[in-house]
Amino acid sequence: MKNKKGIIIFLVITCIALMLRIALINTPLWYDEACSWFSAKQTFPLGILKNLFTLDLQHSPLYFFLLNIWINIFGDNEIAMRSLSLIFSIGSIYLIYRFGEKLVGKKFGIILALIMAVHPLMVIFSVEIRMYPAVVFLVLASLNFLLDFEKNNNSKSLKKMTITNILIPYTFVGGIFYNVAFTFFYTRYLKNNKDKNTFIRYLKHCTIEWLALIPFFAMLTYYAGQRGMFVITHEIPLRFIQIIDILRNFFGANISANPYWPAVDQYQLTFIFTLSAIVPCIYFAYGIYKSAKGNNEFVKMIFNITMAIFILFIIFASLKIYVCTNRYILYLYPLLITLGLLGLSKSITKRHFYTFTGIYILLCLSLTVWFIPKFKLSKMYALKDVMIQAQNLNLTGEDIVILPFSADAPYYFKSLSTPRVYNGDFHKLVRNPYGKYYDSKDSKIMARKGKYKLIFEKINEDNVFSQNFFEYFASEVNKSVDSGRYLLLAMYGNDNNGIVPIDQLRKEVKDEQYVKDHILDVMFKKYICDIAAMINLDFKFIKSFKKDNYTYYLYQKI
């Protein structure tokens, strides 16, 4: 009877989770998701690898392989592609329930599953067309196999754990933090708490795991070499408020308006914010502290793994290798929530514990329902809005759209009836030293680490950045649009501030050091100056207007 009751409760939790996630499944794509589509649409597997190793230079291939197979079976509309992540998300709810049940008991597992089902951050990323839901699922699977091996000491669990741990970095580059922390602290735990035979068995499987990761490290080495020559980077400096914001989003029922990017604004201490964000953060921080101070060596080991991952993440963010944002460390969420609740369950009364978790779950559910429509609207403003405006202007396949940001993932312009998108994404075009933006002599200078001097000199020349870029743009834009047809330049958000006269840019850029200190801003303004100059050769300006997050400039071919 109890088992039947537990099944019914879990089915109810699953239904709640599904309803929240299905509300998001038809949401428009934003830039990173469109990039996932673009990578997965390449030929399997070599086309996908070529795209990652020449344009992306930061991601592991496994998710894109899987998405490629998924698209070939179910199609590439929003619902189809989001369904893959939905499966991982629902699977993660089951896995965290099982993890909690094995660690403490069924009631504890149910509470963990409920929080995972309704927490805004987990719902928002649950149908993301990215690798984050998949890596959360894999980490939870690894933890379950870890507990199975801890309790049963069987080879089957050890093999499953090893295979899962191998898959994690190949799914998400940042997952390697989990492997590093897991190997170090679990090895130490086994050595101090288990018999020699168990320790030796694990070491053998651990050796297999790290041997299997040699290609992963070769990939990272290649990425590092290529990124070392990048002209620009969009990684922003680490600030303490970004760390606080991650913890607020993980523990609070009230998350940031933009959960994709580090928050830089100060918080307004309203009653709702205090109740839904500050109070839960205090509770969970206290619970994690109590877990670390307990007598259970296994739990302490889990705590050490969690803290090591978080510290590694902060170190890499401080080096500007990573951006300090939620999605890059999302797989840590189940660990933190489990440790927090475990510590609270051992240090406060049952009535207090259930009251807190009950109120917290209701707050999470309420604020998730409130946040979903706002989130869907913000997604529409990311990419789809440009397509809507192009339709309003009656643009067709004879016309062209220039998107300085997101041009390399033209998801909403993939049909023959929509305008073409100029394949010149600023971030990927300008940062590639061997691409279409630079002449060969420029690439040689950059290889000798002379990029800042090169850029300074280019800004002060009366030409576009390079002959290579001029010919590429003329071929792709000026010569490809017939007389009387249209060009739509769409500037996203504050990118519109990058439109400045070249004389003003030259006054701003005083020397090479200024270029180095403001590389992204300087290169973007030069890029836009050059595009404007080349557009004006063959197009006449018609009008400009602002709509939602974009400022639009419409031109007609002379």
pLDDT given for residue 107 in this prediction: 94
For residue 405, the Cα-to-chain-centroid distance in whole angstroms is 17
Residue 60 in contact with residue 30, Cβ under 8 Å? no
Mean pLDDT along residues 292-314: 96
pLDDT at 2: 56
Higher pLDDT, 520 or 181: 181
DSSP alpha helix (H) spans, 324-349: 333-347
User: What does the buried/exposed string (b/e) look like for 406-423 if buried means 16 or more CB atoms within 10 Å of the residue's CB?
Assistant: bbbbbbbbeeeebbbbbe
238-264 average pLDDT score = 91
Banded model confidence at residue 385, pLDDT cuts 50, 70, 90: very high
C-alpha distance from residue 309 to each of 158, 221, 474 (Å): 22, 21, 48
- pLDDT band at residue 178 using 50, 70 and 90 as cut-offs: very high
Query: Given a cut of 80, is residue 204 above it in pLDDT?
Result: yes
pLDDT class of 475 with cuts at 50, 70, 90: very high
Rounded CA-CA distance 33/20 in Å is 20
Rg (CA), the chain: 26
Average pLDDT, the chain: 94
Say whether pLDDT at 406 is over 90.
no
Q: Which residue has the tokens 């070529």?
A: 50
Q: Is the pLDDT of residue 57 over 50?
A: yes
At 489, is the secondary structure helix, strand, or coil? strand
93 touches 17 (CB < 8 A): yes
The pLDDT tens digits for 133-163 are 999 999 999 999 999 999 999 999 999 999 9
Residue 46 CB-half CA count within 13 A? 0
Strand 486-492 relative to strand 400-402: parallel, antiparallel, unpaired? parallel
pLDDT (0 to 100) of residue 234: 65
In this prediction, residue 1 has a pLDDT band, given cuts at 50, 70 and 90, of very low
DSSP 8-state code for residue 268: P
Residue 345 has pLDDT above 90, yes or no: yes
419 CB-near residues (< 8 Å, 6+ apart): 390, 395, 396, 397, 399, 400, 401, 413, 488
Q: Residue 73 pLDDT > 50, yes or no? A: yes
Model pLDDT, residue 323? 86
Confidence band for 431, pLDDT divided at 50, 70 and 90: confident
Structure-token pair, residue 495? 């990118």
Select the more confidently predicted residue: 468 or 427.
468
Q: In terms of C-beta density within 10 A (0-12 exposed, 13-18 middle, 19 or more buried), how is residue 349 classed?
A: exposed
The pLDDT of 439-467, averaged and rounded, is 91
